[in-house]
Amino acid sequence: MRQILSFPSNKTSIARVPKATFSNNAFSFSEHGQFFLILRKKLMYYHFCTNGLLKNIIFSSNEDYIYGMNAIAICKIQHIDVKILAFCLMNNHVHFILDCEKDDGLSFMKHYKLLIGKYLKNKYRTERNLNGADIGCKEMSDPNYCVRAIAYVLRNPMSAGIQIMPGEYRWSSTNLYFASRSFVLHNCTPISSLPVVKMREITGSRFKFPAEWRIDMNGMIFPGDYVDYKTVETIFVRPMQLLYYILKNNDAELEADTGILTKSRYSDDELCASRDIFIREKYGKKSIMQLSVEERISLASIMRRRYGISLPTLSRIIQIDRDLLRGML
């Protein structure tokens, strides 16, 4: 049976998970007096991301997300020196943890932006794309940051307020780690079994995919064929180690360290646009006025975590009394 990253029923079990110890060129997890050591003379891991577009949604349907996933596979084929350790596609931004030279990683990201832009322009006949999103890049020479950054990327859906177990979010690499191969490959078929014309129709691409890669019944290439999930499993050793860091939630600390994940200031128009998207997608309603007090407080908590906005601004955007908000948050 598949092991899926989920919340332990007993919180003390998380506290007992061994913490990491670090040195200059290695880090290790201590388990009952034994050490699992990973040595790298030179770390070449990078955290790439696009800033949240707020006003522009990139992926608004399963079809969009599936293309976004397949575009990663296309980029991997074209950038063979880039290893993908982890990724997460959100509706208005994307994250990648890559093992590569910096220039190769930037080339990978620019190629990805180009593919998504062409797809969205052809489908929606608008300028809705990633062109306006700056690419952020953070070198992860510090193993401590590396561990936190991987967990940060994988917990993005939770930070956005999506009520879902970490390993159940379809548009990331989370469900690849420590999972049963037979389970995750359910309903997948080898790409070699499909006619070339059919693959072009599914992926919208003329790129030749490796024959051993697999594709599911929805037309999505299996991420395990292009993600180096084994390296992440080696880093975290056990599922509980990875879960510990995902649940630890160092979002604010990590974003402050990088300076690439958030803007220092958002306009009210940007925040209201983002607010309205949350209202539609999370609550199924059309305006802030249709939310109950409890729903507004929940939304305020999500937006404060995501954008780091002040209480007065939050009160203004959510349209709720500042003192009430202060007491609840």
| 223 closest CA partner among 24, 25, 87 | 87
Length reported for the chain: 329
179 token code pair: 């999972």
pLDDT of 258 reads 54
CATH code given to domain 45-258: 3.30.70.1290
Inter-residue contact 129 to 89 (CB < 8 Å) = no
| Gap between the Cα atoms of 90 and 65, Å rounded | 9
HSE-up of residue 3 (Cα within 13 Å, Cβ side): 11
pLDDT of 9 reads 38
The pTM of the whole model exceeds 0.75? no
287 token code pair: 């305006």
* Residue 280 backbone dihedrals phi, psi, to 5 degrees: -70, -45
pLDDT of 72 reads 97
191 token code pair: 């790409």
| Gap between the Cα atoms of 149 and 5, Å rounded | 17
| Gap between the Cα atoms of 279 and 144, Å rounded | 36
pLDDT of 32 reads 30
Opening angle at CA 99, ends 118 and 176, nearest 5: 80
pLDDT of 106 reads 95
pLDDT along the chain (329 residues), means of 10: 42 36 41 37 78 68 94 95 95 91 95 91 71 78 84 86 78 91 72 84 80 90 94 91 83 56 59 85 89 90 77 85 80
Query: 69 to each of 59, 121, 224, how far by Cα in Å?
Result: 11, 17, 11
| 47 closest CA partner among 98, 92, 83 | 98
Residues 6+ apart with CB under 8 A from 109: 48, 50, 96, 135
Residue-range domain boundaries for the chain: 45-258, 268-328
